[in-house]
Amino acid sequence: MKPPLIGLTTYPAGQGHGYHTPLDYVHAVVRAGGAPVLLPPVGQSAIDSWLAALDGVVLIGGGDIAPALFDGGLHPTIYNLSPERDETEIALARSLLACKLPTLAICRGLQIINTVLGGSLHLHLPDVVGEAVEHRVPPRDPTLHRVRVAANSCLAGLLGSTQISSKSWHHQAIDRAGHGVRAVAWAEDGVIEAIEIDDAPQVIAVQWHPELSAAEDSRQQALFDALIRMSSNKN
């Protein structure tokens, strides 16, 4: 049997480099038994072709979503906005939910899903919850913190635990949950760290970055393994 074909979204092209996805995501998909391909932010025209070929998708992390997409206002800490990436990923997320393709949504990916479903984001977490729990460290680097997972959630079953340490790398998070979105994990300051979606069991969505520790932590790798299992069952 061929390995399932897994699309990974990408960062925009920049000076000196093209569209790109950090290696940690790629390696985690390969370890799980998937065949990764990159999905560049080229707009909506490619999405039907992608979905006809793919068995699953990882919506990776990255820069902020334009606040206008969730009526969020402005904040001086907003960074790395990309209209092309927003357009592509919003349209892709809508299509993924509609066709129920297995999806792992990480950090920005979770925020994209919540936005598509009508939710909103806190623009800068320190303004809302303070800094007792660090969700990233200066200037913009990942850090480790505890996450509590609801015992009755599908996520707890995948992780095999209701208490985990996770690599965090964000300054925004869900404010208003979208339609059908349920919080199922929280940081110690109450920030939502994972969601599940009514009528969309094929979506795994976490605010933290499992790819950063998946090589050493089997519980984090388990999220990629679950994506590949679901994607294999699609065939």
Sign, CA torsion 87/49/103/135: negative
Please measure the distance between the N-terminal and C-terminal CA atoms of the chain and give it in whole angstroms. Answer: 9
Report the C-alpha gap between 118 and 61 in whole angstroms.
Answer: 19
Q: What is the DSSP letter of 2?
A: P
Report the C-alpha gap between 38 and 206 in whole angstroms.
Answer: 20
- Residue 126: left if φ>0, alpha if ψ -120 to 50, beta else—which one? alpha
Element (H, E) at 56: strand 56-59
**Nearest CA-CA partner of 164 in 182, 144, 179:** 144
Report the C-alpha gap between 9 and 172 in whole angstroms.
Answer: 19
- Residue 141: left if φ>0, alpha if ψ -120 to 50, beta else—which one? beta
Of 107, 170, 171, 193, the catalytic one is 107
Amino acid at 208: W
Quick one: tokens of 136?
A: 């990233």
Of 75, 131, 211, 216, the catalytic one is 211
Q: Do the Cβ atoms of 4 and 56 come closer than 8 Å? A: yes
pLDDT in tens, the chain (235 residues): 899 999 999 999 988 889 999 999 999 999 999 999 999 999 999 999 999 999 999 999 999 999 999 988 999 999 999 999 999 999 999 999 999 999 999 999 999 999 999 999 999 999 999 999 999 999 999 999 999 999 999 999 999 999 999 999 999 999 999 999 999 999 999 999 999 999 999 999 999 999 999 999 999 999 999 999 999 986 5
Whether 87 is catalytic is no
What is the predicted pLDDT for the residue at 233? 85
Instruction: Report domain extents, the chain.
Output: 5-233
Q: Do the Cβ atoms of 122 and 173 come closer than 8 Å? A: yes
Per CATH, the number for 5-233 is 3.40.50.880
Report the C-alpha gap between 203 and 96 in whole angstroms.
Answer: 9
Report the C-alpha gap between 173 and 151 in whole angstroms.
Answer: 22
Of 145, 193, 209, 216, the catalytic one is 209
Q: How far is CA 184 from CA 25, 121, 150, 162, 194, in A?
A: 23, 17, 5, 10, 6
Whether 154 is catalytic is no
**Nearest CA-CA partner of 203 in 105, 98, 94:** 105
pTM for this model (two decimals): 0.98
DSSP one-letter string for 175-195: SS--TTEEEEEEETT--EEEE
What is the predicted pLDDT for the residue at 235? 59
